[in-house]
A = this chain, B = another copy of it.
Amino acid sequence: MAPPPAPDVLISEVGPRDGLQSVKATMSTAHKRAWISALHAAGLREIEVASFVPAKLLPQMADAAEVVRHALTLPGLTVMALVPNLRGAEAALAAGVHKLTIPVSASAAHSLANVRKTREEMIAEVRSIVALRNERAPQVHIEAGISTAFGCTIQGPVPEDEVVWMAEQVVAAGVDESGLSDTTGMANPAQVRRLFKRLFAAIGSKTGAAHMHNTRGLGLANCLAAWDVGVRTFDSSQGGLGGCPYAPGASGNVVTEDLVFMFEAMGLRTGVDIGKLIEARAALKVGLPGEPVYGMTPEAGLPVGFSQGAAHV
């Protein structure tokens, strides 16, 4: 049997890490396993399953190694984990992840607040993580996600030159790709196009994912803008999990269900089965009772006459 065609767009599901660490409750390990399996069954082929951070800081992630162990059993899945520092990277590599993602901030103020390091110190940390990877697990892929690339709630606007500079620095430090994150929900489509164009010019094919937030409703428009200028990997979370504390009722992350619907409706292949993806919400809901789960497409249902993979009028 011939393998399925490569997708046009890679949806990188971040709910089990970014989503779960943003909520108060802790999902049990068994529920995490079931949810990740359901996401995989829907066709997702890259999932950020955990972060390797001290359990006293983020008790929701205390079972990271165990969750990774389960995810590694799922065929064809790229198992990704977030690591903020060398110690986290050691633990993640020991657990056997396929891909590390390191958060670095474009905003000087956010860097200190988020990882307690200056940007220069963080670049040095990236260099150490790359060296460790080269020594212990050279096949592992490393991505640096540039936080606050479109603005910062602490310092306000972030100069684009500093965003591009940061990307150049982490690529020089040896990462395989660097994407841009709208951590604060401040991005607009014109800015997204401008900044990703500059990123492609600066680091070429090492340009990574667009990680957009829906804080002000622009999440999908910003993803479309990023697609237009060549971005092909998009972070999102099922049900928009990862609420934004200053926007009650407003989700933070782009909702995977709506993002997949947008691209599939445009005739682009994501490899994800929307019906099964909507079914996977049950595993999220049972594992986090009472937590709001967003998404317009699941509420409205698919349009009459809609079929995935068909060319749509």
Chain A binding surface, main DSSP class: loop
Closest to A215 in B: B300
Q: Would you call A21 an interface residue if the criterion is a C-beta within 8 Å of the partner chain's C-beta atoms?
A: no
Total number of A residues with any Cβ neighbor in B under 8 Å? 52
**Bound Cα distance A258, B221 (Å):** 11
Is A159's CB under 8 angstroms from B258's CB?
Answer: no
**Bound Cα distance A300, B151 (Å):** 15
Is A224's CB under 8 angstroms from B305's CB?
Answer: no
Partner of A217, one of B156, B215, B220, B303: B220
Residues of B within 8 A of A247 (CB): 296, 299-301
Interface flags for A256-269 (1: CB within 8 Å of B; 0: not) read 00100110011100
Q: Which one of A12-20, A52-60, A187-195 is at the interface?
A: A187-195
Q: Would you call A225 an interface residue if the criterion is a C-beta within 8 Å of the partner chain's C-beta atoms?
A: yes
Interface flags for A146-187 (1: CB within 8 Å of B; 0: not) read 000001111011111000000000000000000000001110
A159, A214, A312 interface centre (most CB from chain B within 10 Å) = A312
Residues of B within 8 A of A62 (CB): none
Partner of A312, one of B157, B218, B220, B265: B157
**Bound Cα distance A306, B265 (Å):** 33
**Bound Cα distance A189, B220 (Å):** 10
Q: Would you call A136 an interface residue if the criterion is a C-beta within 8 Å of the partner chain's C-beta atoms?
A: no
Q: Would you call A272 an interface residue if the criterion is a C-beta within 8 Å of the partner chain's C-beta atoms?
A: no
Is B151's CB under 8 angstroms from A250's CB?
Answer: no
Question: Distance in Å from the Cβ of A217 to the closest Cβ of chain B?
Answer: 4
Given A160-B313, A218-B258, A258-B218, residue A300 in contact with residue B189 (CB < 8 A): no
Other 19 A-B pairs with CB < 8 A, given A221-B224, A246-B300: A151-B303, A151-B305, A156-B304, A156-B305, A158-B313, A186-B303, A188-B312, A189-B266, A190-B266, A216-B258, A216-B303, A218-B220, A218-B261, A221-B221, A221-B262, A224-B225, A246-B301, A248-B299, A250-B300
What are some 29 contacts across the A-B interface (CB < 8 A)?
Answer: A151-B305, A152-B304, A156-B304, A157-B305, A157-B312, A157-B313, A159-B313, A160-B313, A185-B303, A186-B303, A186-B304, A188-B262, A189-B266, A190-B265, A190-B267, A191-B312, A191-B313, A215-B300, A216-B296, A217-B255, A217-B262, A217-B296, A218-B220, A221-B262, A224-B224, A228-B228, A244-B300, A247-B296, A250-B299
